[in-house]
Structure 1
Amino acid sequence: MQNPTLPTKKHYAILDGLRGVAAIMVVAFHIMEAHATSRFDQVINHGYLAVDFFFLLSGFVISYAYDDRWSKMSLGDFFKIRLIRLQPMVIMGMIVGALCFYFQDSVLWPNIHQVPLWKMLLIMVIGFTLIPVPTSMDIRGWQEMHPLDGPGWSLFFEYIGNILYALFVRKFSNTALAVLVFLSGCFLIHLTLTSPNGDVIGGWSLVPEQLHIGFARLLFPFFGGLLLHRIVTLTTIKNAFLWSSLLLIVVLAMPRIGDSTTVWQNGLYDSLSIIILFPLIVYIGASGTLEGKNASRVCQFLGDISYPIYITHYPLIYIYTAWVANGKIPFQEALPMSILTVVSSIVLAYACLKWYDEPVRNWLKKKVAK
């Protein structure tokens, strides 16, 4: 077997930072979601698009990291590398979710206290594998394929993207890949313009409608990221982290476009953000360099905690959302608790990174190399 611990390439440090910015925006989006009465008054309205940004960023980085390594790497090597990178925190996310679930109760989930311990533990173990559970096994009542840690759905699709890349798409010519990306873009635009809700929100349930949304959200950004890396010629852009971060924040925080009679307008915004603005943001970030130790440290910190934040924050959001719903608490009153939730998400992510994720990944790399 070839050694899957391949020589390390330099990181796109600004892209690492952008990943962290997007992850924190996701936490803020979910906090504000607890106070929204509908899609139309949600603050940080388009924070859900961070998932699509992650998919595009993943495609770009996967192409950069592996396209030229297949002569020295087998399929097994690739899958081991990706499992070592992603799976430890998936397991931790499910454990955190199970602990929070066990001590939880809310008017949002009136039957949650009736779930037997063995069933919760079974869902947790299944969650370790990222195998989605059907709605009949949903123990929370939100029809999530991973009811202990909702964001697990996007990791499920991330793995599908990795599998498709490794088995087939890595062999595509740029022309064939461009055709795939074009068709995927049409698929995405059709979803956004025909969606009864006028957005791409969804993908977390094992039902046909939600799987449709999940694949539409995965295919264009993931393979569009691959194509972007293959065909783009990078330039030098000053203050790239500043400009790309600001643009990303604006896109994710943009208020709802249109109203209930013109939902297609918001759908158009979603598709244009994913197809045009996100590739532009990644291009700006990849074209920049960091000046000074402070900027490098900020981007490294944001990049390091980005994945741990994303995969462990939602159990805290369940608690926050339940607290808000139980007391019908307005945001102004809940502000200190919302700040505490954001800070707690970052602290939890950093603790998991340093005390669990990095040591486990280092151990696994040594075992695989041996």
Structure 2
Amino acid sequence: MYKSLQSGRAIAAIVVVLYHLGLTLAADKYFGTDIFKIPFSFGMLCIDSFFVLSGFIICTAHSSDFSKPHRLGRYLSKRFIRVFPVFWAIFFAVFFLAVAIPATRDTVPHDLEILVKGLFLIPQDKNVIGGTGAPVITVAWTLHHEVFFYLLFGLLIISKWFLPIMVAAWVGLKLFYLDVHQPFVVSFILSPYLWLFAIGMLVAMINKSSKVVIEKPMRLAVLALIIFGVVASLTVHDSSFDNDGRTLIYGIAAGFLAIGLVRAEDKGQVVMGNRWMQLLGNASFVLYLIHYPVLSIVCKLAMAIGLGQLGMLGAVITYVGTFIVCVIVAVAFHLWVEKPLSAYLRERTEKPSLRYA
């Protein structure tokens, strides 16, 4: 994994945390102030970069597996280990904690079907389930798209000729439902997020090609940051600036940034490659999944001990303290749970008798 991209993952995860933290403190039941909400109101855009980066990583690691169906099992095993064990650990921890506390018991669903679908990251209608379609861990809606992409990529491992079939099917659905109300499943399939993964894959193929020469790759990275800045600024000043076009523009910028950073690192220019940024990058998946319930708990504790009565000072203390707690909890969970658990599962599945390639 490129160190520059790991640092990028860390920064993206941090911005998402600050975005949600700002929204939380803006709620009337807490401090009711927008001062922390406005600066990072573009935070959801950083999720777009996660999708692009995921497409890049998966294609870089497995493009040599195209049309080699005997490698499908190993690919699926690696994807499962990467996502589900950690997600399940956090899911159950949050669910049972919420159920154990009377005040939060009703914040999680009790319908078995909804919970099972949530456990296996089966997409659910956000208008029905929790506002995002993901019960218990509300930010897990992104993993619905992630898992969907993994499955589609798996078809390419079976045969690369699935690619034109998938593109044709997507275009056909888009045209058929162009002026028609889209059922939830169709709207999920036609989501622009799928194209963000495709951008990441394209960047990976460009990076692998010896025919594509980029003399000054950092210029691409600078161009990407300028686009990021413009789009983020528009989002901050106009909350209605939220559409598929914005997502694709941001995705293209993320693609420019990825190829710029990767090619620069290949030339020896590593951006923010220090060990702390690498640690945060490694823990970014956990930080993303765990931050919302953690910040909710810490903010409630802050009000319980009277910080709400201190006005802006209390808000600042809560903001900084909650962010620090989120990072500490995420890093600790990564080091003591995610890392050893993933290593153990990889060791079990990589035994010679179980290898697929």
TM-score, structure 1 as length reference = 0.71
Shift of 1:85: 1.5
Shift of 1:55: 0.7
The alignment of Structure 1 onto Structure 2 pairs a total of residues equal to 330
Query: 2:12 corresponds to which residue?
Result: 22
Q: Give CA-to-partner distance per residue, 1:84-129, whole Å, 9 cap, x none.
A: 11222211221332254235576xxxxx54589x938986665432
Aligned mates of 1:178, 1:135 — CA distance in 2 = 25
Aligned mates of 2:336, 2:279 — CA distance in 1 = 15
Aligned mates of 2:278, 2:232 — CA distance in 1 = 24
Aligned mates of 1:350, 1:285 — CA distance in 2 = 25
Counterpart of 1:34 in 2: which secondary structure? helix
Counterpart of 2:137 in 1: which secondary structure? coil
Query: 2:283 corresponds to which residue?
Result: 305
Aligned mates of 1:220, 1:144 — CA distance in 2 = 20
Among residues 249, 256, 259, which one is paired with 1:283 in the alignment?
259
Shift of 1:243: 5.3
RMSD of aligned alpha carbons: 4.6
Aligned mates of 2:272, 2:259 — CA distance in 1 = 22
CA distance change for structure 1 residues 18 and 363 in 2, over 3 Å: closer, same or farther? same
Q: Give CA-to-partner distance per residue, 1:181-239, whole Å, 9 cap, x none.
A: x969x99xx99xxxxxxxxxxxxxxx945972675142110112112221353636587
One-letter identity of the residue aligned with 2:85: P
One-letter identity of the residue aligned with 1:56: V
Pair 1:145 & 2:138 matched: no
Among residues 261, 264, 267, which one is paired with 2:243 in the alignment?
267
Query: 1:222 corresponds to which residue?
Result: 197
Counterpart of 1:146 in 2: which secondary structure? coil
Query: 1:197 corresponds to which residue?
Result: none
User: Residues 236 and 287 of structure 1 are in contact (CA less than 8 Å); yes or no, is this contact kept in structure 2?
Assistant: no
Query: 2:345 corresponds to which residue?
Result: 364
Counterpart of 2:138 in 1: which secondary structure? coil
Written as runs of structure 1 = structure 2, the 5 A alignment for 1:240-255 is 250=229, 253-254=232-233
Query: 2:147 corresponds to which residue?
Result: 159
Aligned mates of 1:83, 1:165 — CA distance in 2 = 14
Aligned mates of 1:236, 1:104 — CA distance in 2 = 58
Pair 1:12 & 2:2 matched: yes
CA distance change for structure 1 residues 212 and 329 in 2, over 3 Å: closer, same or farther? farther
Aligned mates of 1:92, 1:346 — CA distance in 2 = 18
User: Residues 55 and 196 of structure 2 are in contact (CA less than 8 Å); yes or no, is this contact kept in structure 1?
Assistant: yes
CA distance change for structure 1 residues 270 and 241 in 2, over 3 Å: closer, same or farther? closer
CA distance change for structure 1 residues 345 and 266 in 2, over 3 Å: closer, same or farther? same
Query: 2:85 corresponds to which residue?
Result: 88
**Percent of aligned positions with the same letter in both sequences?**
22
Pair 1:129 & 2:95 matched: no
Counterpart of 1:222 in 2: which secondary structure? helix
Aligned mates of 2:190, 2:53 — CA distance in 1 = 16
TM-score, structure 2 as length reference = 0.73
Aligned mates of 1:314, 1:256 — CA distance in 2 = 22
Aligned mates of 1:210, 1:332 — CA distance in 2 = 46
User: Residues 45 and 255 of structure 1 are in contact (CA less than 8 Å); yes or no, is this contact kept in structure 2?
Assistant: no
Moved more, 214-223 or 246-255: 246-255
Aligned mates of 2:224, 2:10 — CA distance in 1 = 10
Shift of 1:32: 1.1
One-letter identity of the residue aligned with 1:47: G
Q: Where does the alignment leave 5 or more consecutive residues of structure 2 unmatched?
A: 28-32, 352-357
Among residues 44, 55, 62, which one is paired with 1:66 in the alignment?
62
Q: Where does the alignment leave 5 or more consecutive residues of structure 1 unmatched?
A: 1-10, 107-111, 192-206
